[in-house]
Amino acid sequence: MSDKNFKPFVPPGVQMKEFTLKSILLGCLFGIIFGAATVYLALKAGLTVSASIPIAVIAITLGRKFFNTTILENNIIQTTGSAGESIAAGVVFTLPGFLFLSDGGGAQFFNYFTILILAIFGGILGTLMMIPLRKSLIVKEHNTLPYPEGTACGDVLIAGEKGGDFAKTAFYGLGFAFAYAILQKILHVIAETPEYMTKQASKFFPSAKISGDITPEYMGVGYIIGPRIAGVLVAGGVLSWLALIPLLASLLPADMIATQLVKIGYLANLQTPGGQGDWNPLTHTFSDYSAAVYYAYVRQIGAGAVAAGGFITLLKTIPTIISSFKGSLGAIKDGADKTGKGSVPRTEKDLSLKVVAFGSIALILLMAFLPQLPGDSIGKKLLVGLLVVVFGAFFVTVSSRIVGLIGSSNNPISGMTIATLMGTCLVFIAVGWTGKLYEPMALVVGGMICIAAANAGGTSQDLKSGYIVGATPMYQQIALFIGAIVSSVVIGLTVKFLDKPTADMIAHGVTEHAIGSAYYPAPQGTLMATLAKGILSFNLDWQFVLVGVFLSVTMELCGVNSLSFAVGAYLPLSTTLPIFAGGAIRGIVDYKQKKSNKKVTPEEEELGKGNLFATGLVAGGAVAGVIIAILAGFDWSAEILAKLNNQAMLTNLLGQSGYYIIGCAFFAFMGWYLYRTARKA
């Protein structure tokens, strides 16, 4: 129920600078930065963190110091900027799937303009469908839907006079991460992935591998998500890399593993050396059995587990989904256009419902006639556009209400996308559209719904912040459209740059696409392609997928979050282990806090020095990773980076083990510094 006594920080009758050129430009800048960082993080780890609070903190600091911005301008800055992060997550979770469809049939659509169009359309769809829902979900249910990130962000904006102190810690984290990234990714003083693997000949524990990408962004993500989720994530990795892989490596001959790699496209043929695990056809062995078994079998088991985990998460929210959809019917009535029906207070002005109607029709028509999108006839593409709008209206409502209850970080986007993809494939089968020709079309529907649902969740949090501070909803909605379009331009460029193999990747056998390799696993994208192929082309190894399905069912029956466990089982242990390190540090900090009987409110915890420093680590590490990856893509800068690389010299001087130990010592120091920062008042 709405709170009739609620009064926003800036009353409706107050006229204040809000939708200004400087606020839009600053918001677009932050959207570009955090959008690119999110692309990098999502491709590597399959995870994202909310950017709204760090953008608000930085906006307050820079705005007060250099631009003399008002609280409403700062709100527009964070609203515009946050669109980049949510759209980037939706893009990366689905569109890389084009690369993994049957016989490479989708690779032609993995181009910049197709990614740009789908990102913009998905972002616009998410914002469009939220226009008629704002009064129902944000205003009327102000007391029942807390929208945790939106509320915290509103509190940050209101506490703007403290912005300098808040931002100082986040900037320290940013600077620390940049310095660490220079030492690790440019000078190579810090090893990127220390690892230890037992020999295949070991009778007791063959080809078991422990490794870690010891980067600032992974430690920061682990601290933010906390010890529980980080522990479940790494548990999945432990099962895959220290149980399943050693078991399969001891049972299966090398030729059988190689044959499976050929079947699923990771190895050209049994006579050709290379591929995942570095196959040697002369000796019939792999140089890395662990990687060979992972790509041949465990990734498919993990894909089944992620699909089932996402679907289970969705099923658990069915009561919420039903109530959300019922509530949306009333919301549309409440959101009727009031133009010409008397004066509307500034804080209640939404964009017209005509914008929603004509915008939806325009999206369907553009999808039908744009040649960059898959489909061999206008009629087929019209059906795809119609499915996008229908599924979009439903899952935007679901996404908005769910994030209102449990926050954007826990939004089951993967489950919604899986349900959309499966529903689309079943519709295609019902009208006789089967085979690889229709796989890209199905992925377009799933991709746009994923982007729309992710953006709707972020939009809802932004509108909640605006409601608390007293913003004008119409200006926020326009800002979200602008942010979606501008950030999409850079998101597509970032995806394409990161997909281009660098000289180092080529030296390690990655020749065509970096996305899908060990460098950028893109777990959700490969999963979406696996599902589309399995349903439409009937060519999936269901025996491995079903093992993963029942693995998730088992975890759920044990009371463990199956989706987090499944993502951990799918990803390399090198990703989840450093994330767990960050989560463990958060666990120790929380334990010490509890032991000292110090009670902290959720808002204080969100704005604590540990969280802000960790946010800086995530943003700094990810942005530095993007910049260095782009530099490595140019020949002139790649030559300079090669000259600055000290790895060979240090390895010769200290040995491989000594080089790894130094890297782990730097990572441990970063963990200690994060702990020390988090313990400060």
Residue 510 in domain: yes
Within a domain: 633: no
Structure tokens at 482: 């602008």
Between the alpha carbon of residue 608 and those of residues 30, 280, 440, 492, 681, the distances in Å are: 22, 53, 44, 34, 8
DSSP string, 384-398: HHHHHHHHHHHHHHH
Residue 60 or residue 590, greater confidence = 590
For the chain, what is the mean pLDDT? Answer: 83
pLDDT at 340: 43
Structure token digits, residue 611? 């969280």
User: Which runs of E-coded beta strand occur in 155-308?
Assistant: 195-197, 209-211, 279-280, 285-286
Percent of the chain with pLDDT over 90: 29
Structural domain total, the chain: 1
pTM value is 0.76
pLDDT of residue 341: 47
Q: Which ranges of 131-215 would DSSP assign to H, the alpha helix?
A: 134, 148-158, 163-181
Question: Of the segments 293-307, 569-583, 656-670, which one has the largest average pLDDT value?
Answer: 656-670
The residue behind tokens 């709100």 is 75
Q: What is the torsion angle, in degrees rounded to the nearest 10, for the CA atoms of residue 115, residue 118, residue 121 and residue 124?
A: -70
- What tokens does 574 get? 């090198």
What per-residue confidence (pLDDT) applies to 76?
93
Which of 118-122, 174-178, 195-199, 220-224 is least confident? 220-224
Q: Write down the pLDDT at residue 436.
A: 80
Domain extent for 541: 31-163+193-251+288-333+349-616
| Beta pairing partners, 197 | 209
Q: How confident is the model at residue 567 (pLDDT cuts 50, 70, 90)?
A: confident
Phi then psi dihedrals of residue 411, to 5 deg: -70, 125
Q: How far apart are CA 220 and CA 224, in angstroms?
A: 6
What pLDDT score was predicted for residue 290? 92
**Does residue 221 form part of some domain?**
yes
3-state secondary structure of 520: strand
pLDDT tens digit string along 490-546? 999 999 988 988 877 888 778 788 888 878 888 778 778 877 887 787 666 778 888
Residues 462-502 have pLDDT tens digits of 998 899 899 999 999 999 999 999 999 999 999 998 898 88
pLDDT tens digits along 204-234: 889 999 999 899 988 988 888 789 988 998 9
d(CA 248, CA 293): 7
Count helices and strands (H / E) in the chain: 27, 4
100 assigned to some structural domain = yes
Q: What is the mean pLDDT of residues 129-149?
A: 79
Higher pLDDT, 382 or 174: 382
90, 462 in Cβ contact below 8 A? no
The answer to whether residue 39 sits within a structural domain is: yes
Structure tokens at 194: 């220390």
Query: Would you state the pLDDT for residue 317?
Result: 62
pLDDT at residue number 323: 61
In a domain, 629, yes or no: no
Integer Cα distance of 2 and 569 in angstroms: 43
Structural contact between residues 236 and 562, judged by C-beta atoms closer than 8 angstroms: no
CA distance readout (Å), 353 to 180, 212, 477, 531, 539:
49, 50, 12, 36, 44
Is the pLDDT at 342 greater than 60, yes or no? no
Under the banding of pLDDT at 50, 70 and 90, the label for residue 596 is: confident
In-domain check, residue 13: no
What tens digit of pLDDT does each residue of 101-125 get? 877 778 888 999 999 999 999 999 9
pLDDT for the residue numbered 338: 46
On whether residue 278 sits in a domain, the answer given is no
